[in-house]
Structure 1
Amino acid sequence: MPIENFPRGKACIVGAFESPRRKAPGIHPYQIHAEVIAGALEDAGLSLEDVDGFATTATFPSEAGWQLSALEVAEYVGIKPSWVCSTDNGGAAPLNHVGNAVAAIQAGLCEVVVISYASSGRSWPLPASDFNTGPTGPGQYEVPYGMSTISAYALAATRYMHDHNVRPEQLAHIAVQARANAHNNPHAMYRDPITIDDVMTSTMISSPLRKLDCCVVTDSGGAIVVTSRDRAKHTRRGGPTVLGFGEAISHTQMNQMADFTTTAAEHSGRRAFASAGVSPEDIRVAQIYDSFTITVALTLEALGFVPKGEAGNFVSSGGISPTGRLPINTDGGGLSSNHSGRRGMYAIIEAVRQLRGESPGVQLVSPELCLVNGTGGWLSAAATLILGRDA
């Protein structure tokens, strides 16, 4: 089916809630699921009895799930859905869940979908290996050598900076701006301003990525409620409409990544723009997955906001500031506010808040559209949403 046939504007996000928890030792992730689902439903003016669709992913150790994770979380919370989705492509998964939910609602499979996420990314008490695959197939070339998430992203950063003569201090502007955006957010993990020098003198983790190039590690969770546009009129507040959606995957292990200097967002973004009937020029605010500063640079280019190799100049000249061409991560993002695992959920929630005029970080003046992009795995998957302020 052509992506242009995506049911543009037929569904809305009518409830959203982000847990204020950042450090929650002793709190099970399923309890956080219950808290954020209750918060999102209250925001929408709905109850558990109204919910007939559910989506989540809880397969990482810190999410306390395993196979059949969506079933286990639904059972714990008390949801009895007629439609369920547990698509798992890493940090992009919550965005995929939105796209899948919109399609399911349009097909008449359900009417009110709750999408939730929770993780004890900081406080999970049991030992767990870094994200990886088994030592067979492509994994045989990496797993025996102790490849980590950070070192994988560092490989992409090294290649990108070499090919395009981008300097580490240019990308440091991304971390500095994230912290500035988090300054007024009462729930952000870190709010004190930082400088380029602070980033450049922070501990080297995996060259060229330093500590402040890396996302924070928190406990937290979030949930949203998606329903048809007609049903949205009868909810407490209505909410932004889902105008466009696109998804794409490229590889699992880094040794299978065809080009370290671009990502699957090149394809997910193109599909999202086509389905929404807009272009990058129409977008004036975005929530970009920021697991690392390099993630933001690669994504800005892959989505078509910045010419190839120009992200360094763009961010260092103020392009992502609140007064720049494309303000991003207005709550402080994963680099300063919240990153418990799959930050795509928090990016969606901030997009909803931004379009409602309720960002806890930096609120822009009456934005009409907001793009959200999620990245999963080791630059392995991408999903892109375009939301519009409800009329």
Structure 2
Amino acid sequence: MTLPDLRGSTAIVGVAESDLGEVGPDRYAIELAAQAAGAALAEAGLTTRDVDGLFCAIAGRGMAPLDVAEYLGIRPRYTDGTMVGGSSFISHLHHAALAITTGACDVALITYGSTARSDSGRGRLAMGPPELPSYEAAYRPRPPITGYALATARHMHQYGTTRTHLAEVAVAARKWAALNPKAFVRDPLTIEDVLAARMVSSPLTTLDCCLVTDGGGAVVVTGADRARDLPKPPVYLLGAGEAHWHRAISQMPDLTVTAATESSVRAYTMAGVGPQDVDVVQLYDAFTINTILFLEDLGFCAKGEGGDFVSGGRIAPGGDLPVNTNGGGLSYCHPGMYGIFPLIEATRQIRGEAGDRQRPGVTIALAHGNGGQLSSQVTAVLGGGDSL
């Protein structure tokens, strides 16, 4: 079977966030998903009546597409509830492009919501049964941070990566967040602050860890021909790739190499570009090690060189490679699954709508999602009209 050529066949025509930060105990995840969906559709000049493809994942809702469709009054003819953690939404973009290109739907809505911060400590988070079998339970891990700390320690041992390298990632994210009025934390941060922060799971401190916030996001996708008639400049999907090798961190083949090495090659090949062509990079930075690992595995530097690569402000405002220009999961928002927000920021950078953090002349942007404990990896390459 020959798959359709997806390069440039579909485009993002609307993006939006819901209220972010801490929305309070009277708000619910599905409400934030709906709020973001309404705003993204309005930006696209469309309504829920136009939506015939629904793609969503909400933590704690096993049948999220049914819930969201009911809540929004949508009767989709194509539904995708793929749930592979934080990378789900970039996976949804890939699947939406396939569905639109093959005629399974015409307008795809990708949406997400979470009240992770407001739920914390308020009795709303029910503990689910343990996932069995668990090969790690005897060691009493504290997921997900234990797994990421393990990968961090191995990278440090194998390649000489230092805690200062990790701190560079956190500081760069905070500098971008300072330019983003929607970012949850915007106060100045120094390398010394990160190094002095409370250790949570060695070698990761509180400032090596992502935020816990509320928030939702939505992305609207349609065919390229229709996109050109809508209000916003189309942001085309040029390439996408997915890969996963393991679920449990103890089953990861190499703690320093992720399946992004495969997902990125698939995305670059489809797009006909390489990392040298990318103007801005939006990564899933649940922990500071993520940014270093993914810059290596996505081909921006060699394996083991990520620590040196991010040093000296290279990925911060004014640096050679803008990374996580919204402030990322470390400083902008992280409502449990972050993967829809790289798509939103990449779209705005290509459109030239990122305000004080806007990078000049952005034609191609990369958005990368991570799910589980460095498990599911999904890469998307987006471009403006000049990229076709």
Please tell me the TM-score bracket, short chain as reference: over 0.9
TM-score (norm 2): 0.95
Paired residue type of 2:131: G
Question: What's 2:275 paired with?
Answer: 280
Question: What's 1:36 paired with?
Answer: 36
1:158 & 1:70 partners in 2: Cα distance? 38
Larger deviation, residues 353-362 vs 166-175 = 353-362
2:41 aligned with 1:46: no
2:191 aligned with 1:187: no
Deviation at 1:390, TM superposition (A): 2.6
Deviation at 1:128, TM superposition (A): 4.3
Q: 1:133 to 1:261 in 2, by over 3 A?
A: farther
Question: What's 1:303 paired with?
Answer: 298
Question: What's 1:314 paired with?
Answer: 309
Q: 1:144 to 1:171 in 2, by over 3 A?
A: closer
Judge conservation of contact 1:218–1:339 (CA < 8 Å) in 2.
Answer: yes
What do the CA deviations read for 1:335-360 (whole angstroms, capped 9, x no partner)? 00010011110110000111111115
Judge conservation of contact 1:183–1:361 (CA < 8 Å) in 2.
Answer: no
Query: Which residue of 127, 131, 136 maps to 1:134?
Result: 131
Judge conservation of contact 2:19–2:32 (CA < 8 Å) in 1.
Answer: no
Deviation at 1:143, TM superposition (A): 6.2
Deviation at 1:234, TM superposition (A): 1.9
Deviation at 1:322, TM superposition (A): 3.1
2:350 aligned with 1:351: no
Q: 1:386 to 1:133 in 2, by over 3 A?
A: farther
Query: Which residue of 104, 110, 127 maps to 1:109?
Result: 104
2:2 & 2:146 partners in 1: Cα distance? 37
2:356 & 2:333 partners in 1: Cα distance? 12
2:33 aligned with 1:9: no
Question: What's 1:73 paired with?
Answer: 68
Unaligned runs of 5+ in 2: none
Deviation at 1:362, TM superposition (A): 1.2
Instruction: Provide the aligned length of Structure 1 versus Structure 2.
Output: 382
2:148 aligned with 1:148: no
Deviation at 1:71, TM superposition (A): 0.9
Unaligned runs of 5+ in 1: none
Judge conservation of contact 2:18–2:33 (CA < 8 Å) in 1.
Answer: no
What do the CA deviations read for 1:205-238 (whole angstroms, capped 9, x no partner)? 1000001101111000000100000110221213
CA RMSD of aligned residues (A): 1.6
Q: 1:296 to 1:133 in 2, by over 3 A?
A: farther
SS in 2 for 1:278: coil
Judge conservation of contact 1:332–1:361 (CA < 8 Å) in 2.
Answer: no
Judge conservation of contact 1:135–1:143 (CA < 8 Å) in 2.
Answer: no
SS in 1 for 2:385: coil
1:238-253 to structure 2, matched below 5 A, reads 238-253=233-248
Deviation at 1:321, TM superposition (A): 2.3
Question: What's 1:23 paired with?
Answer: 22
Question: What's 1:232 paired with?
Answer: 227
Deviation at 1:159, TM superposition (A): 0.3
1:170-185 to structure 2, matched below 5 A, reads 170-185=165-180
Q: Please identify runs of 4+ aligned residues in structure 1 that moved more than 2 A.
A: 125-130, 140-144, 321-325
Judge conservation of contact 1:95–1:385 (CA < 8 Å) in 2.
Answer: yes
Paired residue type of 2:13: V
SS in 2 for 1:387: strand
What do the CA deviations read for 1:62-82 (whole angstroms, capped 9, x no partner)? xxx1x2221111111111110
1:388 & 1:112 partners in 2: Cα distance? 19
Question: What's 2:265 paired with?
Answer: 270
SS in 2 for 1:123: helix
Judge conservation of contact 2:175–2:317 (CA < 8 Å) in 1.
Answer: no
